[in-house]
Chains A and B, each alone.
Chain A
């Protein structure tokens, strides 16, 4: 693995990772409708994107879904992780362990189909949820995102110093107080990471949302997919560039905040 082979393999790997993304960005500024033939610099596709009500509307739906499901998933995932790491014996422990890890390996088509069938039969027998839309997508996303949050929260709960919690208990704090005053502040950074992961996963999901959504509630990936299925289109390139820009800015800010936090700790 020495000599020229390793650096060459690494350069190849990074070219493989980044070349498609870079070409996506470059051709978003292309005048020509033919996405891969350069016809001069232009920002017209950004203009068309901003006038596209369907894309803007679905982006707003996706952001709402992502916000609510990430928040709910963080609550449920954290509770699940807390129960599994701090309560050593209770009825149904094995069941909960299974239910919290299984969504991680469940193919999306199965999760989507089975949840849709649940919603349909619940509507038939209980009358709720009436039709499908925003609520059913949020429920579906919360369920699969909670598993990811639980994994992150569990590893933080296991690695944290439990003597802090013991000390608080010895000093007379009740279990609720210990959780909110000690455990929660200690694991908070992991929960933020979990929330962000859940938010991204929800924003990104096409398959599950397609199964459980109803008329009038198309998420951004659903609209992009129906456009892209017919072939490449330059306004999707413009949209991709905007998303990549957002991610870059977010990563730079997060890196800067982390460095400042590290400096303060010293």
Chain B
């Protein structure tokens, strides 16, 4: 390293860059800034621009933003037609609302299933604790798509669950579980359960055992101790875990596409179909912009509020 830094080309380059007002420091800042600026931030401007265009049959399938007017001057072509269309068609409104509902219900179920597991692991003695924790994380490292696929084999009318229930004599005719909202809830809870358990576990291990002892010494029953001490103290873990389930669930495409029925409306799926099936890029862009404003912006605002509270 030293030899390199003393070599003539190195020094020459450093001197030249310095002359241009570029220090090593600004170069280091520029790399991530440029990459994310071009490939993360700029796409949103393109998205916004195309959401104001009109779908046409051409390559690319949308009208250009600028056009030559008759007198040769540049003209901007933009219309809010796509947004008006989204407002007027009940399909889109319902899709936004039902995405929020599905994400909310799944988050509650994930919390109900995840909380006892996190609590149990946090209280377990050491070798057992690490093994259980590993067992929670392990499914996450296998393919997400294949885990959703596994439920297709489970929930089908001649799937594992129905075969078992029929052979046990509990039911005669198979239950219809695939292609329902129920299957979508199961898929989301199953996929994102580790994201619920891990923050809860991290929070519950920090819980001071002396507080629980004090409560029971003062005569509180285990139930009362749980609801008046443990649960309120674990609220930050509950919030963090719920966010980690709710956020990806709301824009989910794969789970409703594989497990849901044709009437399972979710906004991620509507956007996908608008783009791949209808080939209407401008409407798909408008759906994305509305989703950004209504869903992503509030989530980011909530998170920044939460971060500021934690820093205090």
Query: Contact residues of A with B, CB < 8 Å?
Result: 1-2, 5-7, 9-10, 12-14, 16-21, 23-24, 27, 34-37, 76-77, 79-80, 82-83, 87, 90, 92, 95-96, 99-103, 105-111, 113-115, 117-118, 120-121, 124, 139-140, 142-143, 146, 174-177, 180-181, 200, 203-204, 206-207, 210-211, 221, 224-225, 228-229, 231-232, 236-237, 239-240, 243-244, 247-248, 250-251, 255
Q: Is the CB of B226 within 8 A of A1?
A: yes
Q: With A114-B288, A247-B142 as given contacts, are A96 and B158 in contact (CB-CB < 8 Å)?
A: no
Q: Is the CB of A76 within 8 A of B43?
A: no
| CB within 8 Å: A-B pair count | 237
B138 at the interface (CB under 8 A from A): yes
Give the nearest-CB partner of B60 in chain A: A120
Question: Could you list some 26 contacts between A and B, CB below 8 A?
Answer: A13-B113, A13-B114, A24-B146, A36-B163, A79-B28, A106-B296, A108-B251, A110-B251, A114-B43, A117-B281, A117-B285, A118-B46, A121-B60, A143-B36, A175-B24, A181-B1, A204-B145, A210-B276, A225-B254, A231-B152, A232-B152, A240-B146, A243-B143, A243-B146, A248-B138, A251-B134
Chain B residues with Cβ below 8 Å from A21 are 139, 142, 147, 150
Tell me, rounded to whole Å, the shortest Cβ–Cβ distance linking B243 to chain A: 8
Q: With A13-B113, A174-B5 as given contacts, are A76 and B31 in contact (CB-CB < 8 Å)?
A: yes
Q: Is the CB of A108 within 8 A of B253?
A: yes
Chain A residues with Cβ below 8 Å from B251 are 107-110
Chain B residues with Cβ below 8 Å from A228 are 145, 149, 152, 258
Tell me, rounded to whole Å, the shortest Cβ–Cβ distance linking B42 to chain A: 6
Chain B residues with Cβ below 8 Å from A14 are 117, 135
Chain B residues with Cβ below 8 Å from A221 are 143, 145
Tell me, rounded to whole Å, the shortest Cβ–Cβ distance linking B106 to chain A: 14
Chain B residues with Cβ below 8 Å from A95 are 33, 41
Q: With A115-B43, A177-B1 as given contacts, are A76 and B32 in contact (CB-CB < 8 Å)?
A: yes
Of the candidates B46, B117, B288, the one whose C-beta lies within 8 Å of that of A121 is: B46
Chain A residues with Cβ below 8 Å from B2 are 177
Q: Which of B243-261 contact A (CB under 8 A)?
A: 247-248, 250-251, 253-254, 257-258
Chain A residues with Cβ below 8 Å from B37 are 99
Tell me, rounded to whole Å, the shortest Cβ–Cβ distance linking B186 to chain A: 9
Chain A residues with Cβ below 8 Å from B238 are none
Q: Is the CB of A124 within 8 A of B60?
A: yes
Binds A, one of B69-77, B81-89, B267-275: B267-275
Q: Is the CB of A105 within 8 A of B296?
A: yes
Instruction: Name 12 extra pairs, CB < 8 A, besides A115-B43, A180-B1, A247-B141.
Output: A10-B117, A17-B190, A36-B163, A76-B35, A90-B26, A92-B29, A117-B285, A118-B39, A228-B149, A237-B153, A248-B138, A255-B134
Of the candidates A1, A34, A101, A250, the one whose C-beta lies within 8 Å of that of B158 is: A34
Q: With A108-B251, A228-B149 as given contacts, are A102 and B142 in contact (CB-CB < 8 Å)?
A: no
CA A121 to CA B136, docked complex, whole Å = 43
Interface readout for B39-56 with A: 1 if CB under 8 Å, 0 if not?
111111011001000000
Tell me, rounded to whole Å, the shortest Cβ–Cβ distance linking A174 to chain B: 7
Chain A residues with Cβ below 8 Å from B226 are 1
Q: Is the CB of B153 within 8 A of A80?
A: no
Of the candidates B24, B141, B257, B258, the one whose C-beta lies within 8 Å of that of A200 is: B141
Q: Is the CB of A87 within 8 A of B151?
A: no
Q: Is the CB of B275 within 8 A of A113?
A: yes
CA A13 to CA B119, docked complex, whole Å = 12
Tell me, rounded to whole Å, the shortest Cβ–Cβ distance linking A94 to chain B: 11
Q: Is the CB of B284 within 8 A of A229?
A: no
Chain B residues with Cβ below 8 Å from A124 are 60
CA A243 to CA B190, docked complex, whole Å = 19
Chain B residues with Cβ below 8 Å from A143 are 35-36, 39-40
Of the candidates A2, A17, A100, A180, the one whose C-beta lies within 8 Å of that of B139 is: A17
Q: With A9-B116, A83-B29 as given contacts, are A117 and B268 in contact (CB-CB < 8 Å)?
A: no
Chain B residues with Cβ below 8 Å from A109 are 251, 253, 268, 271-272, 288
Q: With A2-B222, A109-B272, A175-B24 as given contacts, are A27 and B134 in contact (CB-CB < 8 Å)?
A: no
Chain A residues with Cβ below 8 Å from B104 are none
Q: Is the CB of A113 within 8 A of B153?
A: no
Q: Is the CB of B159 within 8 A of A36?
A: yes
Interface readout for B101-127 with A: 1 if CB under 8 Å, 0 if not?
000000000000110110110000000
Chain A residues with Cβ below 8 Å from B44 are 114
Of the candidates B36, B39, B142, the one whose C-beta lies within 8 Å of that of A115 is: B39
Tell me, rounded to whole Å, the shortest Cβ–Cβ distance linking A4 to chain B: 12
B184 at the interface (CB under 8 A from A): no
Q: Is the CB of A207 within 8 A of B254?
A: yes
CA A116 to CA B257, docked complex, whole Å = 21
Q: Is the CB of A139 within 8 A of B39?
A: yes
Chain B residues with Cβ below 8 Å from A247 are 138, 141-142
B92 at the interface (CB under 8 A from A): no
Q: Is the CB of B271 within 8 A of A113?
A: yes
Q: Is the CB of A114 within 8 A of B47?
A: yes
Of the candidates A17, A99, A255, the one whose C-beta lies within 8 Å of that of B41 is: A99
